[in-house]
Amino acid sequence: MTAPLRARTYLNLIYLVLAFPLGLAYFVGVVVGLSTGVGMAITLVGIPLLIATILGATIVAAFEARLATHLVGVDVPLPEAVRDGFLMDEDDGVLEALKRLLTAPTTWTSVLLLVVKFVYGVVAFTLLVTVGAVVATLLAAPLAYDQPGVTYQFGTYTVETLPAALVLSGTGVVLTVLALSLFNLLAIGGGLLNAALLDVGLEQEPC
């Protein structure tokens, strides 16, 4: 019940607000990159485009890992491809680096993460808008119920007196606390999902 008093709650809200636009951008980028690369695979452009899309996905997944770590407080490891020295070794060439990229499990789970992020973003956006609208309606009852030309309704109930409006407003305060707790859990769930996807095949070590 202390969710409104914790700074982490508002960092979690930032994480949830960003989830939909970022998830949409990731999804479009992955789908366009992979579909275009596959469609042009018989040309000299297709294969490099596929590789660039996959590498780009791992870089974006690293950004997501840092976002979850700093905003949500969940320790999410970086994909192997963006760790220092993983791809390039002074004794190896480009082909060896490419082999390491394509055989690292976290390369492919990074692509999956970006697709899953879109679904997560849709869920987060839907809950934020729906719950936010309900809470705002309840909290505003004492200010709006007696305005000229306004019929203030909550569902099928028409608010006509100040006591009734205050009851609705009090309900809104309680719902706000519960909603913030729910959003905290949703944000933590998103961070844990990122950690699960990017921890595949990795030894336990500091990021």
Contact 30, 142 (CB under 8 A): no
pLDDT at 191: 95
Strands (DSSP E) found in the chain: 153-154, 157-158
Q: For residue 89, what pLDDT band results from cuts at 50, 70 and 90? A: low
User: SS3 of 20, please?
Assistant: helix
Q: pLDDT of 94-149, one tens digit each?
A: 788 888 888 889 999 999 999 999 999 999 999 999 999 989 888 888 877 777 77
d(CA 119, CA 67): 17
pLDDT of residue 205: 47
- Across 154-165, average pLDDT: 78
Place of tokens 């944000």: 187
- 38 touches 46 (CB < 8 A): yes
pLDDT tens, position by position, 165-175:
888 889 889 99
Whether residue 181 has pLDDT greater than 60: yes
Residue ranges covered by each domain of the chain: 3-198
Is the CB of residue 140 less than 8 Å from the CB of residue 151? Answer: no
Identify the pLDDT of residue 75.
Answer: 94
Q: What is the mean pLDDT of residues 64-75?
A: 95
Contacts of residue 171, defined as CB under 8 A and 6 or more positions apart, other chains included, come to 138
For the entire predicted model, the pTM comes to 0.86
Q: List strand residue ranges (DSSP E) for 78-204, in order.
A: 153-154, 157-158
Closest Cα partner for 182 from 134, 139, 113?
A: 134
Residue 204: pLDDT over 80: no
What pLDDT was estimated at residue 201? Answer: 66
CA 191 to chain centre: 8
